[in-house]
Amino acid sequence: MVLLELTKWVHASLGVVCLLSGVAALIMPKRPRGHPWAGRIFGVSLGLLYLFILPNMIATRNVFLLAIGWLAVFAAFEGIQSLRRSLGRAEPRPGALDYLVNGITVVFCLGLGGFGALALRGGSFLGVVCLAFAVLGLLLVRAVRGRWREPPAPQVWLVAHIGMMCGAFSAALTAVLAVQFSGRLGGMEWVLWVAPSVAMQIVAQKQMKARGLTS
């Protein structure tokens, strides 16, 4: 019990760092030092955040947060890898770690989809949200594997970087909102779960357009 309480406090502290650094990375000019450092802090704090809350999620059998949290970690990992590949700092072909993270993500998505189907049968709208995130996760996995098979131009890797990092932030924000407001908003909870993804999709498109990556 003491360990679980301690992880909650560490998780809360890391959550603040994660969200603040994520916002900083989004609004900072894409220049050396500022944006890259904010992005690194976001990625590291997100990974530690998930690691420290993992025992609590397992103990409470919170399948939704377990899967959404991992999807945030997966998106951040792929976002960082895509940036490194766009800069020529990493091979375009996947390594052992890429396969491991990708495989774990598939398992989580299938588990989330199964949980969502059961929740939907029980009449809970959470089932729809879980199924939507499960499908989204599998689509992201498919896109990643497509880039592995046919490595694209550096510009396309950069598009993947922006999309994945925005996706990581939206998943992290969704998890935070789910923790803070779950069971408090009645039938309107789904708005908090969906709104971050919609908002960050808009942000990603604007950032790509500003950098001449989309028409």
Tally of helices (H runs) and strands (E runs) in the chain: 7, 0
Tens-place pLDDT, residues 80-111:
999 999 988 899 899 999 999 999 999 999 99
Number of domains in the chain: 2
One domain, residues 105 and 49: no
For 187-197, what is the mean pLDDT? 73
Same domain, 135 and 191: yes
pLDDT at 118: 93
Query: How far is the C-alpha of 139 from the C-alpha of 33, rounded, in Å?
Result: 32
User: Tokens 């999620």 identify what position?
Assistant: 57
89 and 49, same domain (yes or no): no
pLDDT band at 178 (very low <50, low <70, confident <90, very high): confident
Give CA–CA dist 179/159, Å, rounded: 31
Which one, of 137, 142, 128, 139, lies nearest residue 194 by Cα?
Answer: 128
* 110 or 192, higher pLDDT: 110
Of 19, 45, 61, the last residue of a domain is 61
Does residue 215 surpass a pLDDT of 60?
A: no
Q: Which of 30 and 122 is assigned the larger pLDDT?
A: 122
The token pair that represents 214 in the structure block:
């989309």
Residues 47, 68 share a domain: no
Q: Which helix (H) or strand (E) holds 81?
A: helix 63-86
Segments forming the whole domain that contains residue 77: 63-215
Q: What's the whole-number mean pLDDT along residues 191-211? A: 81
Residues 14 and 68 in one domain: no
| Band of residue 71 on the pLDDT scale cut at 50, 70, 90 | very high
Q: Which pLDDT score, from 0 to 100, does residue 5 have?
A: 67
Query: Do 202 and 176 share a domain, yes or no?
Result: yes
In 3D space, the residue among 103, 140, 4, 20 whose CA is nearest the CA of residue 60 turns out to be 4
Q: Measuring CA to CA, which residue among 3, 18, 6, 1 is closest to residue 175?
A: 18
Residues 176 and 105 in one domain: yes
Domain end call among 12, 41, 61: 61
Statement to judge: residues 184 and 79 lie in one domain: yes
Domain shared by 26 and 100, yes or no: no
Assigned token pair, 173: 């924000």
Mark whether 40 and 82 lie in a shared domain. Answer: no
- The pLDDT tens digits for 14-42 are 888 999 999 999 888 877 778 889 999 99
Query: Does one domain contain both 207 and 138?
Result: yes
CA distance readout (Å), 71 to 74, 105, 184, 215: 5, 7, 24, 28
Residue 182 has a pLDDT of: 64
Tell me the pLDDT of the chain averaged across its residues: 86
45, 61, 77: which is the final residue of a domain? 61
pLDDT at position 209 is 82
Whole-angstrom distance, CA of residue 23 vs CA of residue 38: 9
Question: Looking at the structure, do residues 170 and 210 belong to the same domain, yes or no?
Answer: yes
Do 74 and 144 meet the contact criterion of CB atoms below 8 Å apart?
no
Task: With residue 61 as reference, give the H or E element that holds it.
Answer: none
